[in-house]
């Protein structure tokens, strides 16, 4: 079981254009990525997202896209939930909820979905195990940062790459294991 931030980003490190605009990403379609995405999500038991991602999904999807997974929405506000999914809205520090979130994944992976603010909170708490960034062949110049962290992540180990038709490349990193202390 891993906690994974999997996201698409522009060449210059943005996951959304100004105003949380995703048209830049949607122009690439999904066909080239579908099989890879399906393999990834088959190993996911729960998803976590912030309120901006949640509200974007609610506004742009006819049905809840994660009906077969428990969804955790981190928000400081009260939010309505769809009737066609198991959506749980929580507030506070990710560490306070991590045990419940992991348990709801049933031994499968936890996917941090959407913007980088929640992923940065997981990283600061030392709970982010993997980072999967699909770098899209476009620069945006401004927008929402891939991983807005206040300090460095430490060195990550590259464990794989996947090249997609159309020029996108997924970079798959894992948190470097800390060396064992000798006694």
Enter the pTM of the model: 0.90
Contact 83, 21 (CB under 8 A): no
Q: Residue 50 has what pLDDT? A: 92
Q: Which residues of the chain have pLDDT under 70?
A: 178-183
> Measuring CA to CA, which residue among 47, 34, 5 is closest to residue 133?
5
Q: Residue 102 has what pLDDT? A: 96
Q: Residue 169 has what pLDDT? A: 97
pLDDT tens for residues 58-94?
998 889 999 999 999 999 998 888 888 899 999 999 9
Q: Residue 159 has what pLDDT? A: 96
């Amino acid at each position: 079981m891993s906690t994974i931030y999997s996201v698409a980003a522009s060449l210059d490190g943005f996951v959304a254009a100004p105003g949380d605009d995703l048209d830049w990403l949607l122009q690439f379609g999904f066909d080239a990525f579908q099989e890879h995405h399906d393999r990834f999500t088959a190993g996911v038991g729960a998803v976590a997202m912030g309120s901006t991602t949640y509200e974007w999904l609610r506004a742009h999807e006819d049905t809840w896209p994660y009906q077969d997974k428990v969804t955790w929405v981190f928000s400081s506000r009260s939010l309505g939930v769809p009737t066609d999914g198991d959506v749980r809205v929580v507030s506070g520090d990710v560490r306070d909820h991590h045990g419940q979130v992991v348990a709801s994944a049933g031994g499968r992976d936890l996917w941090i979905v959407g913007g980088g603010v929640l992923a940065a909170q997981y990283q600061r708490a030392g709970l982010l195990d993997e980072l999967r960034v699909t770098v899209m062949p476009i620069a945006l110049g401004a927008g929402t940062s891939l991983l807005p962290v206040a300090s460095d992540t430490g060195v990550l180990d590259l464990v794989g790459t996947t090249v997609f038709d159309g020029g996108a490349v997924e970079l798959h990193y894992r948190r470097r294991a800390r060396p064992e202390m000798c006694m």
